[in-house]
Structure 1
Amino acid sequence: MNSNIIGFHHFAIKAQDFEKTVQFYRTLNFEVVHGWSLPEFNLEKCVMMKNKGFDCYIEICDNNANFPTQGRKRKKGDSYVENSLLHICFTVGDANKAYNEAIENGAKPLSAKETLELRSLKKIVTVSNSLVYSPNGEVIEFLESVVF
């Protein structure tokens, strides 16, 4: 086990439409805490956004950023390019409310609230969640509070 790891800091996304993506995450209670550019990486705009309610960050980079990434760059007209990131998950009080608010703010529906039983040999964990595609295309899961 790596004892140097003390917590989760952020995930980074490359925005197809930078301003629209930043605005969408603002509706999910994130605020810009820092912005920068790195010409040596062809990065014109990048921001770090922090959630106002808990200690989680999102790094949003413009579409021209030349950063190491998994998979190939999405080409114009591609609806989806699969890669290793499956989804981004936020704990919420009400999965229906989070789903509806995200759609009102530009997300596309993926899966309305459902309740699932995650079974193992030792226990069953019941989860309730909903999923949307953000305006930028990443899958966002809204998971009602649960203990694993």
Structure 2
Amino acid sequence: MKEYVIGFQHVGIPTKDMEASTKFYEAIGFDVMYETIDESNGAKVKFFKQKDLVFEVYESTDVTMTTGSIDHISIDVTDVEKVYEEINKMGMNNLNDEIHFLPFFEKGVRYFIIEGPNKEKIEFNQYV
């Protein structure tokens, strides 16, 4: 697995109020690096960046509004298919997820998600 991991990709944070989230993250020094609409559900999605720290903030009706409401952490990988194969070999695809594509950024991203031992979601992400 180590040969495929490039580094940290982003933290996924659901929001009920994109305007308030945008004002907050911009006030603490983040810039909007990318924004789109998730065509599967019509939700607004924004990626905020400050240096090498990236937050993906997306609209959701399932926001808990409690401590611990971060949805997932994402890891950059060089080859999402190879990582998917390794995760399956180790029996760690406990969500039975498949590789997905989203038309985010210039050419899109491919990713899949597993669940860690504390119910945390780990996303393996590759820019296309």
**Normalization by structure 2: what TM-score?**
0.47
Larger radius of gyration: 1
Q: Answer 1 or 2: higher relative contact order, Cα 8 Å, separation at least 6.
A: 2
